[in-house]
Amino acid sequence: MFYKFRLVTLLCCGLCAVILFGMAGACSPEYYKADADEEVYKIIDSKWQDSFGQKVNYTISDVSPSPNDVQIEKAVPLSGKISLAQAVAMATAHNRDYQRQKEQLYLTALSLTGTRYQYALRWFGTIDGSYTDEKDNGYDDVSFEAKGGVDKTQLLDGVIVNTGIVFDWVRFLTGAPRTSLSSVLSGDVAVPLLGAGAGKIARENLTQAERNVLYQIRAFNRYRKTFVVSIVTGYYRVLQRRDEVTNSKNNYKRAVESKQRLGMEAKAGRKKPYEVDQAEQRVLTAGDSYVRAQRRYEQQLDEFKITLSLPTDAEVELDQNELKVLEKIGISQPDYTLDAAIETALLQRLDLANSTDSIDDAVRNFILAADGLGPQLNLTGSINVNSREKTDFSQLQFHEGAYQVGLDVDLQIGRAHV
């Protein structure tokens, strides 16, 4: 009978272990990562306003892209020619500084999820099992302890809650075979009534975390706009350098042709020798200008490749037709007066909006700090209730429990002398 019971007990222990390991496997790092990604982008999407800009190219690279994201392979096109649209797409997909901005946006929203978690009810549950063999004392036993409840949680109004219930089960297998079952319910709570602790600090931490995400979304969109402008500007500068190479090359060819013509005329006696020497000097000057223009173009192109995260030895060229397209479109001068331009910037610039809101944060923190100088008053309470009998763990003796209510007062006497 004893061995049968032990066998059954061991089988139950094994089954519990399988269930626990199965649950642990289901909650794998990949699962938590996917859950965090989903929550992060829900936060970003909920705070993204239409006035910030189009919602594209803001997800980090290891997250499945949205349909609006521009997708382009990090490779040179087969033709070796990169259009302006391809250059912008490659830069926003692979540029390191741009990737860093996307990661900063993600991390700020991820930090908010952690802050929100601090103000949510955090449930916990643990199961511990053991087998004790005390042959010298004439007994062995199998025991289990299960715990569950709400971990120490601070709610938005500043209330701190901590509750839990513990179940103990012990089976003495030898000696005096018997079973012991018991449970304990415990909990404590702290309610702020006066001072900065009266819900204000708790609300401020979450408020600031929420606003930080909004600020980072604005900062990212501001950066993205300036980044795209810099890519377009860099693209046209490379084409401009290429035009300079073409012009310098043509000047060099004309200088060579002029020298050859003067040389033939000098042989015929129609030109003086010093004119040929002057032509030779012009050829050398034009050749030097041509070499310098070629070097400036190659340097500018290499810098642009680095911006696109391409290797500098990649054989690429920019589409010269983009200049023709720009000529067809034309360049329109902004029809703004100085006052209208300033007013528009104050209303629409995202970095100025962040600066304005930061003033509100400073004022709010100042008021909170002032409240923290005064007396702090908290109402505290606790409960501890045991089960009715060692073999009846489901019957808690609330009428015999230990209850406590008190006030926690901090007069801030020390700060009065600071």
How high is the pLDDT of residue 67?
A: 59
Which tens digit of pLDDT belongs to each residue from 45-58?
999 998 898 888 88
Question: For residue 100, is it within any domain?
Answer: no
Is 145 exposed, middle or buried, given 0-12, 13-18 or 19+ CB atoms closer than 10 A?
middle
Instruction: Determine how β-strand 317-318 pairs with β-strand 81-82.
Output: parallel
Question: For residue 73, is it within any domain?
Answer: no
Give the number of other Cβ atoms within 10 Å of residue 401's Cβ. 14
Question: For residue 194, is it within any domain?
Answer: no
Q: Residue 330: is its pLDDT beyond 60?
A: yes
Helix, strand, coil % over all residues of the chain, rounded to 5:
55, 20, 20
Percent of the chain whose pLDDT exceeds 70: 81
Which tens digit of pLDDT belongs to each residue from 124-175?
777 888 877 776 666 677 787 777 777 766 676 667 777 877 777 776 667 6
User: SS3 of 383, please?
Assistant: strand
Question: For residue 252, is it within any domain?
Answer: no
Give the number of other Cβ atoms within 10 Å of residue 295's Cβ. 12
Confidence at 1, pLDDT banded by 50, 70, 90: very low
Q: Residue 380: is its pLDDT beyond 50?
A: yes
In this prediction the pTM is 0.76
Helix (H) or strand (E) holding 139: strand 139-154
Amino acid identity, residue 269? G
Mean pLDDT of 110-119: 88
Helix (H) or strand (E) holding 377: strand 376-389
Confidence at 70, pLDDT banded by 50, 70, 90: low
Q: Which residues contact 15 (CB under 8 A, 6 or more apart)?
A: none
Task: Calculate ∠ Cα 135-139-143, nearest 5°.
Answer: 115
CA–CA separation, 399 vs 19, rounded Å?
A: 37
CA–CA separation, 205 vs 210, rounded Å?
A: 9
Query: 216 versus 76: which is more confidently predicted?
Result: 216
The answer to whether 148 and 183 have CB atoms below 8 angstroms apart is no
Which tens digit of pLDDT belongs to each residue from 176-198?
676 777 778 888 888 888 876 66
Confidence at 386, pLDDT banded by 50, 70, 90: confident
Q: Residue 62: is its pLDDT beyond 70?
A: no
Bridge-partner residues for 260, per DSSP? none
> Which residue, chain included where needed, has tokens 């991820």?
110
14: domain range?
1-46
The answer to whether 369 and 197 have CB atoms below 8 angstroms apart is no
Question: For residue 63, is it within any domain?
Answer: no
Q: Report how many domains make up the chain.
A: 1
Please state at what angle helix 200-267 crosses helix 29-47, rounded to 10 degrees.
Answer: 80
How high is the pLDDT of residue 179?
A: 74
Helix (H) or strand (E) holding 206: helix 200-267
How high is the pLDDT of residue 410?
A: 81
Which tens digit of pLDDT belongs to each residue from 238-281?
999 999 999 999 999 999 999 999 889 888 888 888 888 898 99
Query: 391 versus 246: which is more confidently predicted?
Result: 246
> Which residue, chain included where needed, has tokens 């429990």?
401
Average pLDDT over all residues of the chain: 81
Q: Encode 378-400: b = buried (16+ Cβ within 10 Å), e = exposed.
A: beeeebebbbeeeeebeebeeee
How high is the pLDDT of residue 83?
A: 92
Question: For residue 40, is it within any domain?
Answer: yes
CA proximity to 86, closest of 312, 78, 302, 329: 78
Query: 116 versus 122: which is more confidently predicted?
Result: 116
**Token digits for 218?**
């604005």
Question: For residue 5, is it within any domain?
Answer: yes
The answer to whether 305 and 316 have CB atoms below 8 angstroms apart is yes
CA 218 to chain centre: 14
Which tens digit of pLDDT belongs to each residue from 282-322?
999 999 999 999 999 999 999 999 999 888 888 899 999 99
Question: For residue 242, is it within any domain?
Answer: no
User: SS3 of 397, please?
Assistant: coil
Confidence at 356, pLDDT banded by 50, 70, 90: very high
**Token digits for 205?**
């931490």
CA–CA separation, 54 vs 225, rounded Å?
A: 10
The answer to whether 231 and 94 have CB atoms below 8 angstroms apart is no
How high is the pLDDT of residue 327?
A: 83
